[in-house]
Amino acid sequence: MDGTLVDSARNVVSAWQWAATELDLPYPLLAPYVHGIPAGQVLAEVAPMVPAEERSRVVAELLARQTEDTSGVVAMPGAWAALDALPTKRWAVVTSADDALARARLRAAGLPPPRHLITAELTEIGKPAPDPFLLAARRLGFPPERCLVVEDSPAGVAAGKAAGCPVLGVLSSGERLPGTVHAVTDLRGARFEADRLGVHARVAG
């Protein structure tokens, strides 16, 4: 969702800067992990010295702040065209946000709600583990190797590959994304088509 369909970079950074201050941690310690990984997993990995109760409180507030702050959240270039080309039963949003935050951002960006929305609450462990994409494949009714993952974060790419899916990289965050079958700057660089045989993705060049 974030960085592929929705541009929410300012909101994400602002919220995580608040979390760093709240936990008396330097923001650069958190910065490499704030895209694509559920917040609870990030703090458990980076700040295990913080009591679990305090981490839970900060995660809840972090998600609530982002749900309320959708100012400036817009659709990523090419997002509308990509979704418009796909039958609603053939695509899913797989995000490390919780359900409330995911729906708030999609609504703020003016994008249609997906039939299949896989959020952080639905799996025991999130990206970079494969669980969220495996669940999405089951909901879509196809084996993972027949599902294309579109991702902008290293954690998301790792999750897609671990699930056995081919991965199309979106370089919106400027991060290198090794392991993708192709990479585009944004979804304007890919064209999606659907017919009776399935969904086809063509990349410019």
CB-hemisphere CA count at 13 Å for 117?
17
Q: Omega into 128 within 30° of 0, i.e. cis?
A: yes
**Single pTM value for the model:** 0.94
pLDDT of amino acid 197: 82
Q: Convert 101-110 to b/e letters by CB count within 10 Å (16 or more is b).
A: bbbbbbebbe
pLDDT of amino acid 173: 80
pLDDT, averaged per 10 consecutive residues of the chain (205 residues), comes to 96 96 96 94 95 96 96 96 94 97 98 96 97 98 96 96 97 87 95 89 84
